[in-house]
Amino acid sequence: MKYKVQLWVLGTVFDFYCHAASPSGANQVALAQHPNARIIFTTAIF
């Protein structure tokens, strides 16, 4: 499933889109690519 993870880095908020099996998997992918980011929320995209 496709997920949108909203990330925050140094005062900048941006969206990260990825394919994962679960929301926690999407969070892991987002943090692997942006290790200094903080996750605001994760939602499924249909």
pTM flag (> 0.75): yes
Instruction: Give residue 6's pLDDT.
Output: 98
Fold of 2-45: Ubiquitin-like (UB roll) (3.10.20)
Confirm if 7 and 40 have CB atoms less than 8 A apart. yes
Task: Express each pLDDT in 1-46 by its tens digit.
Answer: 999 999 999 999 999 999 999 999 999 999 999 999 999 999 999 9
Instruction: Give residue 2's pLDDT.
Output: 97
Spell out the domain ranges in the chain: 2-45
Task: Express each pLDDT in 13-23 by its tens digit.
Answer: 999 999 999 99
Confirm if 11 and 46 have CB atoms less than 8 A apart. no
User: What single-letter amino acid sits at 42?
Assistant: T
5-43 exposure pattern, b = at least 16 Cβ within 10 A, e = fewer: bbbeeeeeeeebebebeebeebbebbbeebeebebeebe
